[in-house]
């Protein structure tokens, strides 16, 4: 997914169009929320890994040094589109793979 094509702000979407691929708006919401959570976790891991390079053994809660590179990396991640917007964009462009569990396997 090209992040540059994802809108930075929320836009109004027709619920009927979002529900069309699954036939159920609630299933669509579950798919989008799971994908948004996955994107957020991946971004968090990536940011943590990049910021780990700047970690210093001497740093304590009282003594934190600001680093310009560290601040720039953090600002870059703050400017990225929100994970929910990325998930919706992927869903609308048919870039998400999902499958629905079979109802026959549910024990009542």
Is 10 part of a structural domain of the chain? yes
Is 102 part of a structural domain of the chain? no
Mean local confidence (pLDDT), 84-106: 81
Residues 66-87: tens digit of each pLDDT: 678 888 888 888 888 999 999 9
- pLDDT exceeds cutoff 60 at 64: no
Please give the mean pLDDT across all residues of the chain.
82
Please work out, in degrees rounded to the nearest 5, the angle formed at the alpha carbon of residue 60 by the alpha carbons of 69 and 67.
10
- pLDDT exceeds cutoff 70 at 59: no
Banded model confidence at residue 103, pLDDT cuts 50, 70, 90: low
What range does the domain containing 11 cover?
Answer: 3-55+62-96
Banded model confidence at residue 29, pLDDT cuts 50, 70, 90: very high
Is 104 part of a structural domain of the chain? no
Residue 6 CB burial class (10 angstroms; 0-12, 13-18, ≥19): middle
Number of structural domains found in the chain: 1
């Amino acid at each position: 997914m090209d992040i540059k094509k994802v809108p930075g702000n929320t836009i109004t979407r027709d619920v009927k169009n979002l529900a069309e691929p699954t036939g159920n708006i609630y299933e669509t919401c579950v798919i989008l929320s799971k994908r948004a959570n996955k994107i957020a976790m991946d971004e968090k891991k990536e940011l943590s890994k990049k910021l780990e390079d700047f970690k210093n053994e001497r740093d304590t809660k009282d003594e934190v040094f600001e680093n310009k590179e560290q601040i720039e990396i953090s600002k870059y991640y703050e400017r990225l589109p929100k994970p929910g917007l990325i998930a919706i964009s992927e869903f609308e462009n048919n870039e998400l793979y999902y499958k629905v569990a079979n109802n026959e396997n549910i024990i009542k």
